[in-house]
């Protein structure tokens, strides 16, 4: 995508500059004036700068559909909190790219236009260009207006100007009229940004547990909440166990997928393997069908599907029939697992801390079966766990207070009528593969069944 916009940006820049030169030529000829010598350096600068502007516009405006609804603007630092809570390398990468995207702006603008060699002029120009992009996204509904983008882009322009001063001082033929220490001072933002990201990643690596992605990044407006139903006043605290689950490497994920294909399809015929930040996508060709496995590195949970039959509705079977069918594919489901049938004939087993072969199995298994007892789709979220350590947890009453204060993970500003039905301890995998406890509130939100998770460990808050 970036290469396409770079190519198109280069073409448009050449077209605009060529058009300008042609118009300039005919204007001079018409008025009987001599041609001034073309400044090749200035011409190249315009080509590069316009190409850069087109690439940025293409990446931020023209690569998205008009399908964003604008009901709210997230607060400053929302994207940073979200990236931290999820510990998503993709989200951190996007933040860093948002900064880097405007570094050429701060570098090129004063390089080609002397008026912008005053730092504040370039800073303001960078802010206004970013604001123009954000407003365009909001008006045409092709993105979200994020104050964090304004911050990141402006930081990029500031860093770019600092780099310009370094290059100007080193290579400019004209004497740089700079105050003593101005070059160093202009690069302090770069030092602060780099140091901040280094500190963030070191802090994370030093944490014993990973980040619980059920933590809220922005509290929900309590004026939009009507919480009623069951109440919880037990203020007693207790220690809850954190468990460990496996963490797969890319090679191990591929081997696991290969074994699953052999169990489900009889063989694996490699077609594609894609490795991403949190998961691997592996495809196998079986006859005319392409089958896919998406496997998580943390925990080894996976989703299997016959891609051409993904939307096909499953066939209804009884619990005993499902257990028998799954046993043929290597599954032995805990006898205490709770069986249910979902609307689209997803057959579901929920397992709650079942002991198996010296380990504890917890989670859910969902499957869609064909009439001929073949697996059409299967999502295996069963985790094999080992106790790690006990940690002090918040009380049930404190979790309920946080629920009433809107301190739960949900984005938006719709009015929510929340009927609280029950509360129990439920576990989820954190960003380092640990299995952390949460208070799970089963609720009806505006009449629809749902649940809300509140992290139970004080450390996770």
Render 117-144 in DSSP notation, one character per residue.
GSHHHHHHHHHHHHHHHHHHHHHHTSS-
Q: How far apart are CA 129 and CA 108, in angstroms?
A: 14
Question: Which of 120, 119, 102 minimizes the C-alpha distance to 55?
Answer: 102
Q: How far apart are CA 250 and CA 295, in angstroms?
A: 10
User: Is the pLDDT score of 229 beyond 80?
Assistant: yes
User: Is the pLDDT score of 205 beyond 80?
Assistant: yes
Q: How far apart are CA 458 and CA 398, in angstroms?
A: 10
**pLDDT value, residue 35:** 55
Q: How far apart are CA 393 and CA 149, in angstroms?
A: 36
**pLDDT value, residue 387:** 93
User: Is the pLDDT score of 67 beyond 60?
Assistant: no
* pLDDT category of residue 258 using cuts at 50, 70 and 90: very high
Q: Which helix (H) or strand (E) holds 199?
A: helix 188-206
Report CA-CA distances (Å) from 381 to 17, 69, 77, 429, 458. Answer: 57, 32, 32, 10, 26
Question: Which of 157, 170, 175 minimizes the C-alpha distance to 119?
Answer: 157
pLDDT digits over 385-399, tens only? 999 999 999 999 999
Q: How far apart are CA 157 and CA 109, in angstroms?
A: 9
Q: What percent of the chain has pLDDT over 70?
A: 87
47 by DSSP, 3-state: which? helix
**pLDDT value, residue 461:** 47
Least confident of 113-122, 216-225, 356-365, 415-424: 356-365
User: Is residue 157 within 8 Å of 125, Cβ to Cβ?
Assistant: yes
Mean residue pLDDT across the chain? 87
User: Is residue 145 within 8 Å of 135, Cβ to Cβ?
Assistant: yes
CA 119 to chain centre: 33
pTM: 0.84
Q: How far apart are CA 381 and CA 330, in angstroms?
A: 15
207 by DSSP, 3-state: which? coil
pLDDT digits over 273-318, tens only? 999 988 999 999 988 899 999 999 988 999 999 998 888 888 999 9
Q: What one-character DSSP code corresponds to residue 308?
A: G
User: Is residue 79 within 8 Å of 148, Cβ to Cβ?
Assistant: yes
Q: How many residues does the chain have?
A: 461
* pLDDT category of residue 168 using cuts at 50, 70 and 90: confident
| Dihedral in degrees, nearest 10, Cα atoms 344, 300, 459, 440 | 20
* pLDDT category of residue 42 using cuts at 50, 70 and 90: confident
């Amino acid at each position: 995508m970036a290469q396409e916009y770079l190519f198109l940006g280069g073409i448009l820049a050449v077209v605009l500059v060529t058009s300008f030169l042609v118009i300039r030529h005919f204007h001079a000829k018409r008025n009987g004036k001599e041609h001034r010598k073309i400044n090749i350096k200035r011409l190249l600068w315009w080509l590069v700068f316009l190409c850069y502007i087109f690439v940025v516009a293409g990446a931020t405006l023209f690569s998205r559909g008009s399908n964003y609804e604008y009901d709210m603007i997230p607060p400053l630092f929302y994207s940073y909190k979200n990236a931290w809570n999820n510990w998503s390398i993709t989200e951190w990468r996007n933040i860093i790219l948002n900064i880097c995207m405007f570094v050429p702006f701060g570098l090129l603008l004063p390089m080609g236009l002397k008026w912008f060699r005053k730092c504040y002029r370039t800073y303001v120009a960078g802010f206004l260009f970013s604001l123009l992009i954000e407003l365009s996204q909001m008006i045409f509904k092709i993105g979200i207006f994020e104050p964090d983008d304004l911050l990141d882009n402006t930081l990029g322009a500031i860093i770019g100007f600092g780099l310009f001063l370094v290059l100007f001082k080193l290579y400019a033929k004209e004497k740089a009229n700079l105050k003593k220490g101005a070059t160093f001072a202009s690069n302090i933002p770069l030092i602060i940004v780099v140091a901040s990201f280094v500190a963030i990643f070191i802090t994370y690596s030093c944490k014993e547990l990973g980040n619980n992605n059920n933590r809220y990044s922005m509290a929900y407006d309590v004026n939009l909440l009507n919480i009623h139903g069951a109440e919880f006043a037990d203020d007693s605290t207790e220690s809850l166990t954190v468990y460990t689950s496996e963490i797969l490497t890319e090679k191990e994920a591929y081997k696991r997928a290969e074994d699953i294909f052999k169990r489900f399809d009889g063989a694996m015929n490699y077609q594609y393997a894609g490795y991403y930040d949190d998961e691997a996508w592996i495809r196998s060709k079986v006859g005319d069908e392409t089958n896919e496995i998406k496997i998580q590195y943390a925990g080894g949970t996976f989703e299997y599907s016959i891609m051409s039959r993904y939307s096909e509705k499953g066939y209804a079977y009884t619990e005993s029939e499902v257990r028998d069918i799954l046993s043929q594919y290597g599954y032995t489901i805990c006898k205490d697992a709770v069986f249910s049938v979902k609307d689209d004939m997803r057959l579901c087993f929920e397992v709650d801390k079942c002991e198996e072969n010296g380990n504890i199995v917890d989670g859910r298994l969902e499957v869609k079966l064909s009439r001929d007892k073949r697996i059409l789709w299967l999502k295996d979220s069963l985790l094999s766990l080992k106790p790690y350590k006990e940690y002090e947890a918040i009380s049930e009453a404190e979790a309920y207070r946080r629920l009433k204060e809107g301190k739960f993970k949900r984005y938006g500003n719709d009015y929510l009528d929340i009927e609280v039905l029950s509360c129990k301890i439920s576990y989820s995998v954190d960003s380092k593969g640990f299995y952390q406890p949460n208070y799970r509130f089963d609720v009806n939100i505006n009449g629809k069944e749902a649940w809300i998770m509140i992290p139970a460990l004080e450390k996770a808050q």
